[in-house]
Amino acid sequence: MSLKQQKVDVTDRVVGKIKNGEIELFLESSSIGKIKLPENMQYDLEHHFEADQQKIYQHVTVTDQPDAKYTDCDEGGWC
């Protein structure tokens, strides 16, 4: 029996994270490389997302002032 090298397609398992003008590529938890982004990179995002200074933000609805009955509880969890 002998061992041989084989090329395996892992494309659908690779994920990327934007960091410092690059896309860092990962396979599971292992870093496998990076893609350098051009300075004038344009993002094409869904309507509730926004890119600003190499960061991606999501527009969400949050409670402006939470209902006091849920925030005024003692340490034992009694409200």
**Does residue 35 belong to any structural domain of this protein?**
yes
**Per-residue DSSP letters for 24-69?**
EEEETTEEEEEEEPPTT------TTEEEETTEEEE-----SS--HH
pLDDT band at 68; cut points 50, 70, 90: low
Is 46 inside a domain boundary?
yes
pTM, 2 dp: 0.66
Query: Average pLDDT of 26-42?
Result: 93
Number of folded domains in the chain? 1
Provide the residue range defining the domain that includes 47.
12-64
Q: Is there a domain that residue 43 lies in?
A: yes
Mean pLDDT of 19-41: 93
Is 33 within the bounds of a domain?
Answer: yes
